[in-house]
Amino acid sequence: MSQTDEVKIVFTPSGRQGQVAKGTNLLQAARQLGVDVDSVCGGRAMCGRCQVNVGEGSFAKHGIDSTSANLSEPSASEARYAEKRKLAADRRLACQCSIEGDLVIDVPAESQVHNQLVRKAADNRTITLNPPVRLCFIEVREPDMHEPSGDLRRIIEALETQWADRVTGAITCDTHVLRQLQPVLRKGKWQITVALRGGNQIIAVWPGLKERILGAAVDVGSTTMSAHICDMNSGEVLASTGIMNPQIRFGEDLMSRVSYGLMNPGGADEMTKAVQEGLQQLIQGGAEQAGMTAEDVMEVVLVGNPVMHHLLLGIDPIELGGAPFALAVDTSTELRADEINLALHKGSRVYVLPCIAGHVGADAAGVVLAEAPQTSDKISLLVDVGTNAEIVLGNQDRMLAASSPTGPAFEGAQISSGQRAAPGAIERIRIDAETLEPRFAVIGSDIWSDQDGFDEAIKDTGITGICGSGIIEVLGEMYLAGIISEDGVIDGTLAEKTDRITEEGRTFSYRISDTVSVTQNDVRAIQLAKAALHAGFKLLMDKMEVPRVDRVVLAGAFGTHIDPKYAMVLGMVPDCQLDNVVAAGNSAGAGARMALLNMDKRAEIESVVRDIEKIETAVEPSFQDHFVRAMAMPHKTDPYEELSKAVVLPFRSLKDNAGEAATPSRSGRRRRRG
């Protein structure tokens, strides 16, 4: 033990260190040295958030011997906590320890306020925590006849003295909280937990210690709505839920909903009600999955395309249905949850990410936040395909965004056998180039159509159609098998070779199964859609004067299910190394979660979105040129050679892509061998 009145203390992993007076409280010392140690109860051995480990041994680097004997014995409160709440043998509550000698103290990740949260599984981004709402346990002075003051004043005083580092300015208090203050204070015997938002708003109070509140990050898609329910303190995802967007009854695709609103008086209000009710159901269900209730949800972050964004907020999206496609608001919005009829905690707030432009929504802003092209010198292309394709191109120097009018073909609409991604829909296919026989798999089954047990596997669903990502694969395979020509015509002469090619009026179609065929019109619809998508990113690349991109991120469900190779065959992504084409999953939702848990991310996306150059494809003459040129299959401009390496070659070892369970058909096997 050091013989002086000052001792040396080193915190890991931050590496912060300094001299403190012997006897200093360990939590205080951490704060003095700017070390992130969490606490809800404010040093009362109640919340257990400030757990630390003592580094034992000689630390030559720091020139000190550290031992747990250099910390005070556990206090009665700490012993009580250890008994009631289970404290690991090597852990101490920092708030209960005084420093008696040199120490190395390790702050485990879960005790750090701004801990780096590693997202699970495929979703391996990190989120730094800086949540908008924090729980603060306080002890409040009792009222006194000799010095009359309101209960709120004494609560604010307690926050200012007991949580000085969290208070950012003059504190206000929600009206609904005013109504609860007095009973809560008395029930809690002058100990309460306050939910402090933005460092200056009291939005909730609970008697005694409240340890956990929830946040919801929601991606409101036209088809599905999905939510992550998070612990607002740890950032942990406690539940992930999804439901169909109840608006589907007003029309499958976005434009049919806009026109529903246009054609039916009160239609927009009906759709608003539907999506708000869906949101309530989604969040409430998620909170219950997490073992809590809707009442525990204090913060919600929403992303969605511009039409969903407007309908959610109760804004009629009619202006988004025609030129000049004016958004009502292109900044972020913050409101009380009850303003959009969410029955959560009364103090709950909603933050909605900004839309980027009339057809580039808050979901695209979420993708930008998650993929962060603005932080790199590499050029990223972010593509989110829906009824429109939302496209963002750029890097740290410059960002552009546009929307391409792909129409709903990629969502399976306008395709004769097209359907939503649902059990029974064909999503994978291979066509034998010699026999022109297809083999395929449907959603809901891992067994391919040429495998034993297929009929049994699909007996409940049947083969109902082709989903959006499936149609890309079908077209790609049809082209590669020579069924469609470079200009997209189904080759009628092949009817002599197989009865799968049949004449329909003046064109031909290709039969995949008894119930599912691909018509010439289907091919045209996809050609138009893929050409629009291609023209969109080409236009942005022209504007930015870059001949190629370093990275392509396919966001959203469509991007997840599509096979990048086929996307490249069709020219749906620009030429680049195939392994630089990434399916990012629900990036929009990931961005929402970042904004939910970190206030800085809100400021960041607001600033990035403000600076993004918004390009309206409809007024760009070169868009039309690109569009016409991009109709061919495969896309022929740009290095076709690269394409053949990237696409045709991998195609020769398709086994990897057919899934573990796939047994290639005889012909397929033959081809691969050849």
Q: Which residues make up the interface to a copy of itself (CB under 8 A)? A: 143-153, 173, 175-176, 178-179, 181-183, 313-316, 318-319, 323-331, 333, 335, 339-340, 355, 357-358, 614, 616, 618-619
Smallest distance, a copy of itself to C-beta of residue 179, A: 5
| Strands of 297-304's sheet in order across | 237-244, 224-231, 214-220, 297-304, 349-352, 333-336
Contact assessment for residue 74 and residue 117, using Cβ atoms and an 8 Å cutoff: no
The bridge status of strand 465-466 relative to strand 425-431 is parallel
CB atoms within 10 A of CB 462: 13
Residue number with CB closer to a copy of itself (173 or 209): 173
Q: What is the DSSP string of 305-340?
A: -HHHHHHHHT--GGGGGSTT---S--S-EEEEGGGG
DSSP state of 169: S
Smallest distance, a copy of itself to C-beta of residue 357, A: 5
Smallest distance, a copy of itself to C-beta of residue 343, A: 16
Distance CA 532, CA 389 (A): 9
Residue 475 structure tokens: 């077209």
Residue number with CB closer to a copy of itself (143 or 251): 143
Smallest distance, a copy of itself to C-beta of residue 309, A: 11
Contact assessment for residue 383 and residue 609, using Cβ atoms and an 8 Å cutoff: no
Residue number with CB closer to a copy of itself (118 or 329): 329
Show Cβ contacts of residue 603 under 8 Å, excluding neighbours closer than 6 positions: none
Smallest distance, a copy of itself to C-beta of residue 650, A: 39
Residue number with CB closer to a copy of itself (394 or 488): 394
Residue number with CB closer to a copy of itself (106 or 319): 319
DSSP state of 410: G
Contact assessment for residue 436 and residue 483, using Cβ atoms and an 8 Å cutoff: yes
Smallest distance, a copy of itself to C-beta of residue 314, A: 5
Smallest distance, a copy of itself to C-beta of residue 92, A: 39
Smallest distance, a copy of itself to C-beta of residue 386, A: 18
Residue number with CB closer to a copy of itself (427 or 620): 620
Q: 477: part of which helix (H) or strand (E)?
A: helix 468-480
Q: How many contiguous H segments (helices) and E segments (strands) does the chain have? A: 19, 31
Q: ω before 438 within 30° of 0 (cis)?
A: no
Inter-CA distances, 363 with 57, 220, 245, 387, 410, Å = 51, 8, 15, 13, 18
Q: What are phi and psi of 632, to 5 degrees?
A: -65, 160
Smallest distance, a copy of itself to C-beta of residue 334, A: 9
SS3 223: coil
Q: 534: part of which helix (H) or strand (E)?
A: helix 520-544
Residue number with CB closer to a copy of itself (100 or 606): 606
Q: 401: part of which helix (H) or strand (E)?
A: strand 399-404
Residue number with CB closer to a copy of itself (123 or 616): 616
Distance CA 543, CA 6 (A): 63
Q: 28: part of which helix (H) or strand (E)?
A: helix 26-32
Residue number with CB closer to a copy of itself (331 or 375): 331
Smallest distance, a copy of itself to C-beta of residue 403, A: 10
Smallest distance, a copy of itself to C-beta of residue 267, A: 15
Residue number with CB closer to a copy of itself (144 or 660): 144
Residue number with CB closer to a copy of itself (182 or 293): 182
